[in-house]
Structure 1
Amino acid sequence: MTEPESAGLPRTDPLAAVSPLDGRYASRTEPLVPYASESALMRARVEVEVEYLIALADLDATDVTLDESTREVLRALYAAFDADDARLVKQIERDGTAEYAATNHDVKAVEYFLRVRLAERLSDAEHLFPWIHFGLTSEDVNNLAQRLLVKGASEEVLLPALGEVRDALVEMAHEHRALPMLARTHGQPATPTTFGKEMAVYAARLGRATGRIRRATDSLAGKLAGASGVYAAHVAAYPDVDWRAFSKSFVERFGFEHQSLSTQVNPCDDLAELFDALRGANNALLDLDRDMWLYVSDRYLGQETVEGETGSSTMPHKVNPIDFENSEGNLSKANSDLTFLADYVTTSRLQRDLSDSTVKRNVGAAFAHSLIGYGKTETGLSKVVPNEQVMREELESTPEILGEAVQTILRREGDTDAYERVKALTRGRRVTLSDLHDLFAELDVSEAVRDELTALTPSGYVGVAAALADDVDTDLNIDVDEME
């Protein structure tokens, strides 16, 4: 078999990427690199190990002492963690160094990395070596490091991106609050609404969804309890120390709740809740993407053309709703991954198995597909313009939707056959306003009621839709308060 020419590309070239997340969409997923890359996980592990060493030094029972300058050196190891540091960790894991054989273990490689870097920076570094990773199991480090990254990705990348989509929807809700539009239920003409009110619905849904994400992020829980969750090694070394209190204090310094009961692994129910919350936001946006696609298809929405953009390789006239379609695909992929992750990370064979390790490395991919979807939805919203003429023409040409108003007013007047009378005229038929007016002329009602019925128009039959579009501000304020 002839080797493909693409195999000659540098591995770092986006065109050689196995996943589109690091290839075609690399510029869109770049904000997640500080939270989803392997280098980011290494840096977070270093942070946990360093802070743990400092916390041990603060215990009166231990023999480790750290002056302020040494603490600064330690904290600089993660604060200034760079590409050279990441490469050294990987070298220790895969190939080893002059001092250390290859570990084939990513967390052990971080422990030895700390030894190497401290030896370079401190003349008496060796007295600290026994205290690095003292009494810990890898999961004690990993579960905290992973949550540091998940928390950062949620707070610094995903929630702001969702906020931008929500803001765009709020703006559209306000701008088009009173623009009447035929609604459809079961795909059939239904009671009119306004375009602004429909956008307000999605803005409110997204506001509530982001509130759930925020609460799930704030409820992340960490464990630090040793190889079987019983602090056995810690107690063996220092039986008089209250290690449960120490663990609680240590976990909470990272902003996490303390997981007091665990096996070797953190049960991860907190991560499952966050994944489910993200899926809820994604589902709201999937619903929006599909509705906007249909509005474009019905010509309710026009799309601004982009200079140099091609809609079809053969049909020059095409302006496709590609952003909503792209968002739909990425959010669907994200939700598939998030569902799998939520189900998988909460299970473990007895105390521990490593099947979850490789699975958790894909959390960033689920977040990345979500982020692409958020950006594409926002771009799609920025390109669409309501076609008021089309909306009004179709609405006025569908007067049968007034049947609901007519039969409801007649019921008010005591007509027990009101529904059946209007149904006989309108169900499954196209009618005109004249047909309705002929019906009104035959009714045994007062002239005031007849005038009330005759005054009905499709474009005026929107209830309080415009006011509901304004209510989105109140809904969002409530959600923001819940998030704080």
Structure 2
Amino acid sequence: MPETVAAAVTRTPSGRLALAASPEPIALGPLDGRYQSAVAPLVDYLSEAALNRDRVAVEVEWLIHLTNNNVLPGAGPLTPEQQEKLRGIVTEFDAGSVTELAEIEAVTVHDVKAVEYYIARRLPAIGIENLTAMVHFGCTSEDINNLSYALGVKGAVEEVWLPAASALVKQIEAMAEENRAVPMLSRTHGQPATPTTLGKELAVIAHRLNRQLDRVSKTQYLGKINGATGTYAAHVASVPGADWQAVAQSFVEGLGLTWNPLTTQIESHDWQAELYADVARFNRILHNVCTDIWSYISIGYFRQIPVAGATGSSTMPHKVNPIRFENAEANLEISNGLLDTLGATLVTSRWQRDLTDSSSQRNIGVAFGHSLLAISNVAKGLKALDVAEEVLAADLDTNWEVLGEAIQMVMRAEAIAGVEGMENPYERLKDLTRGQRVDAARMQEFVSGLGLSPGAEARLLALTPGKYTGIASQLVDHLK
């Protein structure tokens, strides 16, 4: 038998096998490893491969735009077949394309130049090799990059993040509707306070989140294609007769973006900072949702539905931990750390250009990934909750002192109406209720001895903590 040649073994300095040398790539970060399935849709928009595909798309559309509009003398419109084949470079962009681009970039040491060469290689097969010089015509790298990032972020937000976030809010709205009339003790400063309903509190959450979604949905994704310092200098020098501003505006708007007419070499990224601030605000509200739901679980307002085969603790068999909400908290914090950094750094650039945005923008996908993962976890966590109405009712029944507010307000109204003996209502209720529990019998005895008008006394004697919710259930209708 032939002698077997042992494969070379790579080890770390500590003597352990080097996992980085594994034939199968091992993810460094959790989004590409443990949580990959939850964030996979973002790969089509915010990965390096997606960025390169969008770069190819922008270059191809620029070439078609220039020829269709006869901008350059001698380069008239392409045939429909030629345009279809050009666009096929984009639609057929695959893993092999990623590899080929990487090989070209290894030589050019420039990512956008690699895209230019990648497209140029394919023009002979389309029969337009004479237009090779028109690929990347008049453009600086940032002309292609700013448009590509805008397309990628727009796609990620509109096709992935917004649908997921909107579905979560709809889920919360459904819970609000279902529980609109379920009375619940409020807690202000952690202390028992005027009762509300569970549905109304969930409606508050949904309303807050919806406002942020509305802001995100109205984002303007800006773009420019005006040359090395935003002056169209090379454009005018090479083709002085063209209306380059009109050409640029129609091209950018044709991509579904908003044209930015005034820039340096870079599109200023202000729209990105605005968007990331809105997404971060959504994240912060959702973080507050997680901590509140976690707290309600801890006091028994929600029961967690056990998952067959799941383990809550490695040593305490009884536990069902609120891990979905804890996981979401952490991921929302990480997402916001990145979003805040992106919003702060992307709006600054030294003079007409520096490259800090190049590295920063490569983390956009990570920021959205952690937010998307959190949204997924909250949605799953909410599905596993059951409202413990008996716990909510018992909590209300042991806090009759919360009716003190109602009683003293009725006394004030009675005093205004001329009923005698209604002096110092706040102080009298304060003496009765502050820092002590008052049961139903004691509260009704107090009310009966106030000397209220018959109608007012009857209303208060019929009142219980569970009925003292005002119009909370009606307020849920604002979600409609």
Residues in 2 aligned to 1:178 and 1:52: alpha-carbon distance in whole angstroms:
58
Relative to structure 1, the CA distance from residue 193 to residue 153 in structure 2 (aligned partners, 3 Å threshold; closer, same or farther) is: same
Relative to structure 1, the CA distance from residue 11 to residue 56 in structure 2 (aligned partners, 3 Å threshold; closer, same or farther) is: farther
Alpha-carbon distance, 1:312 to partner: 0.8
Q: Structure 1, residues 238-261: CA drift from partner, whole Å, max 9, x if none?
A: 111110111110100011111000
Q: Structure 1, residues 113-164: CA drift from partner, whole Å, max 9, x if none?
A: 0111223x23x44311111001100000000000100000001100110111
For residue 478 of structure 1, what is the aligned residue in structure 2? none
Could you tell me which of 51, 71, 75 is aligned with 1:64? 75
For residue 477 of structure 1, what is the aligned residue in structure 2? none
Moved over 6 A (4+): none
For residue 180 of structure 1, what is the aligned residue in structure 2? 183
Q: Aligned pair 1:436/2:437, yes or no?
A: no
Relative to structure 1, the CA distance from residue 381 to residue 6 in structure 2 (aligned partners, 3 Å threshold; closer, same or farther) is: farther
Aligned residue for 2:309, secondary structure, equals: coil
Residues in 1 aligned to 2:16 and 2:253: alpha-carbon distance in whole angstroms:
52
Q: Please list, as runs of the form range in 1=range in 2, the aligned pairs for 1:315-394 lying within 5 A after superposition.
A: 315-394=316-395
Relative to structure 1, the CA distance from residue 235 to residue 19 in structure 2 (aligned partners, 3 Å threshold; closer, same or farther) is: same
Residues in 2 aligned to 1:32 and 1:131: alpha-carbon distance in whole angstroms:
32
Unaligned runs of at least 5 residues, structure 1: 95-101, 474-484
Q: Structure 1, residues 26-84: CA drift from partner, whole Å, max 9, x if none?
A: 11110111011111011000000001011111233412232222111111001211111
**Bigger CA drift: 4-13 or 349-358?**
4-13
Alpha-carbon distance, 1:8 to partner: 5.7
Q: Aligned pair 1:88/2:100, yes or no?
A: yes
Q: Aligned pair 1:192/2:195, yes or no?
A: yes
For residue 430 of structure 2, what is the aligned residue in structure 1? 423
Q: Aligned pair 1:140/2:140, yes or no?
A: no
Residues in 2 aligned to 1:434 and 1:180: alpha-carbon distance in whole angstroms:
21
Amino acid at match of 1:180: P
Alpha-carbon distance, 1:176 to partner: 1.1
Q: Aligned pair 1:2/2:3, yes or no?
A: no
Q: Structure 1, residues 454-477: CA drift from partner, whole Å, max 9, x if none?
A: 11100000111111123322xxxx
Q: Aligned pair 1:411/2:412, yes or no?
A: yes
Alpha-carbon distance, 1:323 to partner: 0.4
Residues in 2 aligned to 1:254 and 1:186: alpha-carbon distance in whole angstroms:
51
Relative to structure 1, the CA distance from residue 209 to residue 61 in structure 2 (aligned partners, 3 Å threshold; closer, same or farther) is: closer
Aligned residue for 2:467, secondary structure, equals: coil
Could you tell me which of 209, 213, 216 is aligned with 1:210? 213
Residues in 1 aligned to 2:80 and 2:21: alpha-carbon distance in whole angstroms:
48
Residues 57 and 64 in structure 1, CA contact (< 8 A), matched pair in contact too? yes
Amino acid at match of 1:445: L
Alpha-carbon distance, 1:87 to partner: 0.9
Q: Structure 1, residues 404-455: CA drift from partner, whole Å, max 9, x if none?
A: 1111111100134111110111111111122222322331323332222211
Residues in 2 aligned to 1:27 and 1:12: alpha-carbon distance in whole angstroms:
17
For residue 222 of structure 1, what is the aligned residue in structure 2? 223
Residues 414 and 453 in structure 2, CA contact (< 8 A), matched pair in contact too? no
- Percent same amino acid among aligned pairs? 45
Q: Structure 1, residues 374-411: CA drift from partner, whole Å, max 9, x if none?
A: 10000010001110111100111100000111111111
For residue 98 of structure 1, what is the aligned residue in structure 2? none
The CA RMSD measured in Å over matched residues stands at 1.3
Q: Aligned pair 1:111/2:116, yes or no?
A: yes
Residues 200 and 472 in structure 1, CA contact (< 8 A), matched pair in contact too? yes
Aligned residue for 1:290, secondary structure, equals: helix
Residues 177 and 470 in structure 1, CA contact (< 8 A), matched pair in contact too? no
* Number of aligned residue pairs: 460
Residues in 2 aligned to 1:406 and 1:113: alpha-carbon distance in whole angstroms:
79
